[in-house]
Amino acid sequence: MSRTYLFVDEDGKLLAYLSLCNDAIRLEFEERDNMSLPYATIPAMKVARLAVDITKRGMGTGYYALQFAVYVAQAVRDYSGVVFLTLDCYGHRVSYYERFVFRRNLYQPVLLDYDSPVSMRLWIDEYLAGQSQ
């Protein structure tokens, strides 16, 4: 279902892992209008899993893994359309991903629990434009 990548340091220690799969997200009309996207459902690549070893937090490994995800999405775009990088995360991680310019999707899956994950997206074009400035 997904492809998993290991981030290993020079001593052979596993610092983090990242799993990627394909996705599509539904946008509300106002979001589509703001981005000039004519379709209700937009192709994306999903960060299905991202975890950093507890002994290696705060070293930028998660940020590096997300940059790698953007790199993979760019590579896929040579062959198939990908507009967003998406992920689902719990509330305590939302601010972390917002620092990477992920935004909450207006359309959220039906939530049954108070602590259901938050659906977020990163617009790849916007992110890359920000990086080049």
Please state, as a whole number, how many other Cβ atoms lie within 10 Å of the Cβ of residue 98.
12
For the beta sheet containing 84-89, the strands, ordered from the edge strand earlier in sequence to the opposite edge, are: 14-26, 41-52, 84-89, 118-123, 103-104
**CB 86 to other proteins: min, Å:** 18
**CB 52 to other proteins: min, Å:** 6
The reply to whether 9 sits near other proteins by the rule CB under 8 A is yes
Residues in binding contact with other proteins, number by CB under 8 A: 30
Single out the segment in contact with other proteins by CB under 8 A; choices: 2-10, 27-35, 78-86, 121-129: 2-10
Per-position b or e across 21-39, b if 16+ CB within 10 A of its CB: eebebbbeeebeeeeeeee
For other proteins, which residue of 27, 61, 119, 127 counts as binding (CB under 8 A)? 61
For other proteins, which residue of 24, 35, 37, 59 counts as binding (CB under 8 A)? 59
Structure tokens at 10: 């020079």
Q: Is 67 exposed, middle or buried (0-12, 13-18, 19+ CB in 10 A)?
A: middle
The reply to whether 87 sits near other proteins by the rule CB under 8 A is no
Rule CB under 8 A: which residues touch other proteins? 1-10, 12-15, 17, 19, 49, 51-54, 57, 59-61, 64, 68, 90, 92, 115
